[in-house]
Amino acid sequence: MDNRNDSLDPRQDGNPYDATDATERRGVSSSTSQDQAAANAVGAGSTEDLPDDTFASRGAVKQTVGIGRKTESGSVIFPAFDDHHPPEKDLIDDCVHCGFCLPTCPTYVLFGEEMDSPRGRIYLMNKGLNEEPLNDQMVRHFDLCLGCMACVTACPSGVQYDKLIEATRGQVERRYERTAQDKAFREMIFQLFPYPNRLRVAAAPLKLYQRFGVGDKLKKAGLMKVLPKRMRAMEALMPMLTKQQEVPEFSPAVGEKRMTVGFIKGCVQRVFFSEVNAATVRVLNAEGCDVVTPKAQGCCGALSVHAGREEEFQAFARKLIDEFEDSGVDRIIINAAGCGSTLKEYGYLLRDDRAYAEKARNFSAKVRDVSEFLQELGPVAERQPMPVAAAYHDACHLAHSQGIRKQPRQTLKQIPGMEVREIKEAELCCGSAGIYNMVEPEPATELGDRKATNVLNTGARMVVTSNPGCMLQIQASLKRMGTSMPMAHPMEVLDASIRGESVETLLLNR
């Protein structure tokens, strides 16, 4: 017998689903220092204080094969999965190994390796059910998946890869022992991004940092190069901060009221793109909707669930459901693709929770992406001409996860004069993928540059997309390539059109 199978995970003996993991996760920093730690990290103006190897990247190289060897944590768990939501055998069996998913998978496109394709990962999951342990190699290939779900679109057999990878990630996070640095870096991300207040604190030094051009100076001095890769990736992603625009708790319909809708602000969206939220609410009002935006709302848990942090996700989800419990809204509107796909899965993700299963199903049934909702509702507000060519970028979590492709394009095309241009390789992820571009910067950068090149090749004057992560990612890639392009959410374009703004105003400062 393979001796690697002998070293069982010590946690195996007890209840594999006990609280130790969660405790460990939360024990990284005390709550008082969390905000500052996070600020340090994102501010990047202060990251030079960090020892060089604190968050050392695991040395992502061009191909994955070498990576597995470099990053051994030595954790070997057999069997790979326990009984708490392993990747379901029935879902695995839907895969007939035809390979139609390969060319749409970003990591297969980059690496050309079977293990880094959906078919290969499903094959590994199946082996993990009874034959092979969960070890560094296995985890590496699961980690490298961006979760873009392009394979779900491509699959003729209807394999629900989304459910399979989410289940697998939950198992990995609970059972696999990551290296100390990897754990710390992930922990920092999850102490920061789902918490808008912390993100805002973090963003404050960032403002100074940007104002004084610290990043540029560091770059000139070559100092950026000595920062760990992951930190550099994070620094490169940070956008210029603009003035915060608050969304009121209640915002009435303009003219005849057609519906009452709830609005979810998102986390990254409200901190870095608060103007998108403001525009969304104005559009909804203009289209005859009363908009209710619970002030206290927290994170929807999308980042957590996509990273397999099940308990953390569930806590976020329950809280958000509670916040909308008595709001009496007909629909719940979201303008960020990544949040939207998770909100629509609440019913499935909380299926085991007796107290919340039904509430979650009802909640999910009301959730709509804003473009999807507007097309259901039909336009009433008058659109002023906006004669500009815009490249529309499909966010994976909108196109692949929610199957929403036509609606945002339709929304744009309903604006007189608007020309919507298609981007080559539209199905291919831009590399943002939640926290992916921070934890796996190298493949993400490669994908980002590829996307940015395709965007530029459209010759359009601006790029429009429905996800904040994609915006940050494409912006960062364009900047790296020494260029830029105005960027907007479909709601900003529509808002500008309804308000009769000029093209030049729309393009300004974006």
Partner 1 sequence: MGMASSRLVDRMTEILGPEGVISEREQLRAYECDGLMNYRVIPEIVVLPETAEHVQRIVRYCHDEGIPFVARGSGTGLSGGALPVESGVLIVLSRMRRILEVDIPNQRVVVEPGVINIWVSQAVADEGYYYAPDPASQIVSSIGGNLAENSGGVHCLKYGFTTNHVMGAEVVLPDGTMVNIGGGKAPDAPGYELLGAFVGSEGTLGIATKITLRVVRKPASVKTLLAAFKDTEEAGDAVSGIIGSGIVPAAIEMMDSLCIEAVETAVHPGFPQAGAVLIVELDGPEAEVSSQFDQTIEICEKANASEIRIAQDDEERALFWKGRKAAFAAMGRIANDYYVQDAVVPRTELGATLKRISELGSEYGMRVANVFHAGDGNLHPLVLYDNDVPGEAEKAEDLAGEIVMTCLEHGGSLTGEHGIGRDKMKYMPKMFTTEDMDTMQLLRCAFDPHHICNPGKVFPTPRLCGEKPGPFHMHPVQKAGLAENF
Closest CB to partner 1 among 137 and 314? 137
For the bound state, the minimum distance from the C-beta of residue 454 to partner 1, rounded and expressed in Å, comes to 14
For the bound state, the minimum distance from the C-beta of residue 69 to partner 1, rounded and expressed in Å, comes to 7
For the bound state, the minimum distance from the C-beta of residue 372 to partner 1, rounded and expressed in Å, comes to 19
For the bound state, the minimum distance from the C-beta of residue 288 to partner 1, rounded and expressed in Å, comes to 33
Cβ neighbourhood burial of 231 (10 Å; 0-12, 13-18, 19+): buried
Closest CB to partner 1 among 127 and 413? 127
Could you give the maximum distance between any two Cα atoms of the chain, in Å?
74
For the bound state, the minimum distance from the C-beta of residue 150 to partner 1, rounded and expressed in Å, comes to 13
Closest CB to partner 1 among 132 and 394? 132
For 268-339, list the strands marked E by DSSP.
289-292, 331-334
Contact residues: partner 1, CB under 8 A: 2, 61-66, 68-69, 93-100, 102-103, 108, 112-115, 120, 123-124, 127, 132-133, 135, 137-138, 141, 155-159
For the bound state, the minimum distance from the C-beta of residue 134 to partner 1, rounded and expressed in Å, comes to 9
For the bound state, the minimum distance from the C-beta of residue 133 to partner 1, rounded and expressed in Å, comes to 8
Structure-token pair, residue 482: 């020494």
For the bound state, the minimum distance from the C-beta of residue 427 to partner 1, rounded and expressed in Å, comes to 11
Q: Are 409 and 402 in contact (CB under 8 A)?
A: no
For the bound state, the minimum distance from the C-beta of residue 309 to partner 1, rounded and expressed in Å, comes to 24
For 309-449, list the strands marked E by DSSP.
331-334, 367-369, 389-393, 419-422
Residues shown for the chain: 510
For the bound state, the minimum distance from the C-beta of residue 135 to partner 1, rounded and expressed in Å, comes to 7
420 phi/psi in degrees, rounded to 5: -100, 120
For the bound state, the minimum distance from the C-beta of residue 216 to partner 1, rounded and expressed in Å, comes to 33
Close Cβ partners of 322 (under 8 Å, ≥ 6 residues apart)? none
For the bound state, the minimum distance from the C-beta of residue 81 to partner 1, rounded and expressed in Å, comes to 14
Q: Nearest to residue 455, comparing CAs of 440, 471, 432?
A: 471
Q: Are 451 and 393 in contact (CB under 8 A)?
A: yes
d(CA 390, CA 419): 6
Closest CB to partner 1 among 95 and 214? 95
Q: Which helix (H) or strand (E) holds 264?
A: strand 259-264
Q: Are 109 and 43 in contact (CB under 8 A)?
A: no
For the bound state, the minimum distance from the C-beta of residue 104 to partner 1, rounded and expressed in Å, comes to 9
Closest CB to partner 1 among 98 and 365? 98
d(CA 197, CA 35): 9
50 phi/psi in degrees, rounded to 5: -75, 140
Closest CB to partner 1 among 64 and 364? 64
Closest CB to partner 1 among 134 and 253? 134
Q: How far is CA 324 from CA 281, 343, 457, in A?
A: 17, 12, 43
Closest CB to partner 1 among 34 and 135? 135
Closest CB to partner 1 among 119 and 270? 119
Q: Nearest to residue 125, comparing CAs of 150, 83, 89?
A: 89
Closest CB to partner 1 among 178 and 309? 178
d(CA 435, CA 303): 7
Closest CB to partner 1 among 138 and 339? 138
Close Cβ partners of 502 (under 8 Å, ≥ 6 residues apart)? none
Q: Are 187 and 25 in contact (CB under 8 A)?
A: yes
Q: Nearest to residue 286, comparing CAs of 370, 389, 369?
A: 370
Closest CB to partner 1 among 135 and 475? 135
> Nearest 10 degrees: CA dihedral of 171, 173, 176, 182?
160
Q: Nearest to residue 163, comparing CAs of 348, 315, 301, 314?
A: 348
Structure-token pair, residue 138: 């296995």
d(CA 192, CA 60): 23
* Mode of pairing for the β-strands spanning 419-422 and 462-465: unpaired
Closest CB to partner 1 among 83 and 90? 90
